[in-house]
Amino acid sequence: MLGTGKHDLMLNVPEITKTPPPQAVPATAPMPCGPGKSADSPAIICDLADSDAFVETYRKPHVPVMSSFGAGRLHVCRLNGSFDLDKAASENADAMFRSIRWIHVQNAKTNNDYWDDLTFQLGRRAYVYMDEGRTIGFAITPGEAEALAKKFARAYSQPPVKSDAGGDFYLIQVESSDIKCHKVSLPQDTVLTAEALNIHYGPGSHDWHQGFVEKLRRKDRGLTLFEGLPGTGKTFYIRHLMGVLKESHRFYFIQTANLEILSSAEFIKFWADERRRYADRQFVVVMEDSDAALMTRGSDNRELVAAILNLTDGLLADFLRLHIICTINCTASDIDPALLRPGRLLCHRIFNRLDYADALRLAESLGRKLPTAGDYSLAEIFADNEKHDAKSRSIGFAG
């Protein structure tokens, strides 16, 4: 037996003594999946509930690889880059052994279909796994694994997309016990000019932005807080930031429902793997509406606050080297004081509602009319709705 877990793979090794008569297999027993018994590749019993049918990870190869190699010789060669999965799938259709394809049907005029994971079987013990950023060869010798990986990398390598598009980010997804990320590209109009920044956020905003960008480039770890009422443009600015820093930074987004992964061992393993693959990039994690995770520690958020403290400062931060940007709707006075310590907190900026003069200037730049009122949020101006009554907040930015 490999390991001690309930669902670990079990090797069916022939016994030297007389083999007992066959017994009935319970309906719930794991099914055999392998090429058969041999000296270097015994048959394997696998429970797919605890195995990864598609993606090769640092901890374990996926099911097709394990079922073919068993306890025999297995060597892996990994190459990072940018690869044309459509071309690889088309030219190796007969060898395709595993695949994941995303199809979007909401807009028939736009073709957003794409391959996510591809596994090709090129021989009894010869596999290639591909995703948008990796080509991985599996074989019985290091040389053969390297040759497979290099062959596919040469055939399907493509230069990183350099266009007038905006930035992009990677949506972190939790699937069973594994953590993956899915790339989301943003349109060009999410990147603002200096004038547009000042119009959207008030005079002097572009100068502040330039200073903040320089801080992010100089320091590869820490915490930033974007505070403001809903609709004041916190996320709108983050999209702009992603476009400005797309050549030097990788942005990751964690949904509020998945914040608990910050304190999990799987998250550290995932991050370590990402750091190995993209050693030339600085990493930024974005968490929206993260008030509950940052509040003064209590029984309901103690682990999350501790995780953010460890990720933004200390020995773990030295290893992972990531910056966390949190948007909050509460005020900084509600945040756990340890998170606001100088050295950990890189920036705290307050996104305010625009006073009427600044709101009118933005509305006119958009070709819209604006009823006279006290102040407006960006969302109200973009929606072209009449201003709803709301309590005004102090004018200006902190950070």
Band (pLDDT 50/70/90 cuts) for residue 10 is very low
Give domain status of residue 30, yes or no.
Answer: yes
**DSSP string covering 362-378, please?**
HHHHTT------SEE-H
pLDDT digits (tens, 9 = 90+) for 341-364: 888 899 999 999 999 999 999 999
Instruction: Check whether residue 178 and residue 277 sit in a common domain.
Output: yes
Percentages helix, strand, coil for the chain (3-state, rounded to 5) are 35, 25, 40
Average pLDDT of span 36-59 = 44
Evaluate whether 321 touches 232 at the Cβ level (below 8 Å): no
Do 82 and 212 share a domain, yes or no?
A: no
User: Would you say residue 163 lies in a domain?
Assistant: no
> Bridge-partner residues for 355, per DSSP?
375
Domain co-membership, 51 together with 89: yes
Tell me the HSE value of 134 on the side-chain side, using a 13 A CA sphere: 21
Q: Looking at residue 288, which CATH number applies to its domain? A: 3.40.50.300
Is residue 396 domain-resident?
Answer: no
As a whole number of angstroms, the distance between CA 331 and CA 75 comes to 53
Query: How many domains are there within the chain?
Result: 2
Give the burial class of 161: count Cβ atoms within 10 A of its Cβ; 0-12 exposed, 13-18 middle, 19 or more buried: exposed
- Same domain? For 127 and 185 the reply is no
**For residue 5, is it within any domain?**
no
Residues 291 and 358 occupy one common structural domain = yes
- Separation between Cα atoms, residue 116 and residue 23, nearest integer Å: 42
Cα dist from 133 to 16, 79, 168, 391, whole Å: 47, 8, 14, 48
* Residue 281 per-residue DSSP state: S
189 with 109, same domain?
no
Q: pTM to 2 decimals?
A: 0.66
182 found inside a domain: yes
Sole residue written with tokens 């550290």: 268
d(CA 89, CA 96) in angstroms, rounded, equals 7
Do 353 and 391 touch, CB atoms closer than 8 A? no
- The answer to whether 185 and 118 have CB atoms below 8 angstroms apart is no
* 198 occurs within a structural domain: yes
- For the stretch 63-75, pLDDT in tens is 778 888 888 899 9
pLDDT in tens, 228-246: 999 999 999 999 999 999 9
Apex 265 CA angle, 260 and 267, nearest 5: 60
In this structure, the answer to whether residues 236 and 363 fall within a common structural domain is yes
Say if residue 15 is in the same domain as residue 53: yes
Same domain for 152 and 174: no
For residue 376, give the amino acid letter: Y
Q: Does the pLDDT at position 338 exceed 90?
A: no
Q: Tell me: do 212 and 143 sit in the same domain.
A: no
In-domain check, residue 393: no
- Of the listed ranges 61-70, 146-155, 167-176, 250-259, the one predicted with least confidence: 61-70
Q: What is the mean pLDDT of residues 303-318?
A: 83
3-state class of 121 per DSSP? strand
Domain boundary among 156, 186, 219: 156
Residues 42, 70: contact at Cβ < 8 Å? Answer: yes
Residue 299, pLDDT score: 66
Structural domain including 56 reads 10-156
Q: Give pLDDT tens digits for 166-205.
A: 899 999 988 766 788 888 889 999 999 999 999 999 999 9
Give CA–CA dist 297/305, Å, rounded: 7
Q: Distance between CA atoms of 14 and 85, rounded to whole angstroms? A: 41
Instruction: Look at residues 156, 179, 214 and tell me which one is the last residue of a structural domain.
Output: 156
Q: 137 and 50: one domain?
A: yes
How far apart (Å, rounded) are the C-alpha atoms in residues 352 and 228? 6
Burial of 117 (0-12, 13-18, 19+ CB in 10 A): buried
CA pair distance 267, 174, nearest whole angstrom:
10
Confidence (pLDDT) at 54: 54
Indicate whether 305 belongs to any domain: yes
Q: Do residues 214 and 129 share a domain?
A: no
Q: What is the mean pLDDT of the chain?
A: 78
